[in-house]
Structure 1
């Protein structure tokens, strides 16, 4: 039993060290609070991607009746659709700029979500005057790291399996 505990602790340490140096736990936690306070009226934090795809593609959003894409869908799409993941620091800047623009000036023409998903939603209302630049940076950091980085949160899904 002791060996199992040590193995799990060591494995957790390895995964934690695989996070990019740009990951900031405090900034992530602040961003999660912003998401919970400003975004969760419409956006759920996370759901398994296969469940979401089934809901949207096969069930016409009738099972989950979501109002907006989930945080982990946004996270996954940010990393897939905006810029290049070759340089995480620069990629974070690119995704933050996109999130800021979209939050203040939402437009379905700029969406990063799949057509089969976004067709179920109205264009989100502008958050201009309801969120400040610091909060946008915090929520962007949270969204970037919400999906696809093992050791960040309990919502980890292996993006290579999608």
Structure 2
């Protein structure tokens, strides 16, 4: 019995160590709830990248008729386009600052999405007065970890393949 318990503890610590120390499950879950309540009117949470590429490149957004980029697209682009990934804690602050600015003062010149994706959408309306800075902070944590870290969520895709 002790051997079985020790094995589970060991395996749990191995899998837990794959997650970055900056990841906070409670904050992630709160951010997901904010995303569901404030963002999903326009943004789907996640879709497979090959399906999204087919939709935008081959089908001119007629396959999925999306209103806005998906959460996993935004997650990937946030980490690729904003700040430096050398220090994850600092990078989280940089992506949060970007989101606050973009959500309150959206402008096409600030977009992080690919031209082939963003050309299908209008600039989003300002969320000023509709989402608080605290809620943006939670959404940022959710979006940051939505794409790209094994074991965090069911939406994981291997970033090295893109």
- More displaced, 48-57 or 110-119? 48-57
SS at match of 1:78: helix
Does residue 32 (structure 1) correspond to residue 32 (structure 2)? The answer is: yes
TM (norm. structure 2) is 0.92
The match for 1:3 is none
- More displaced, 28-37 or 14-23? 14-23
For the residues of structure 1 that align with 2:50 and 2:14, how far apart are their CA atoms? 27
The match for 1:72 is 72
State the aligned residue count: 156
The match for 2:120 is 120
For the residues of structure 1 that align with 2:13 and 2:71, how far apart are their CA atoms? 26
Higher Cα Rg: structure 1 or 2?
2
For the residues of structure 1 that align with 2:71 and 2:14, how far apart are their CA atoms? 26
TM (norm. structure 1) is 0.92
CA contact (8 A) 1:15 1:150 kept: no
Question: Once the 2 structures are TM-superposed, how far is the Cα of residue 45 of structure 1 from its aligned partner?
Answer: 0.1
Question: Once the 2 structures are TM-superposed, how far is the Cα of residue 52 of structure 1 from its aligned partner?
Answer: 0.5
For the residues of structure 2 that align with 1:155 and 1:80, how far apart are their CA atoms? 18
Inter-CA distance 68–13: structure 2 relative to 1 (3 Å threshold): farther
For the residues of structure 2 that align with 1:15 and 1:118, how far apart are their CA atoms? 36
For the residues of structure 1 that align with 2:13 and 2:49, how far apart are their CA atoms? 26
Runs of 4+ displaced beyond 6 Å: none
SS at match of 1:149: coil
SS at match of 2:86: coil
Spell out the pairing of 1:46-65 with structure 2 (5 A cutoff).
Answer: 46-65=46-65
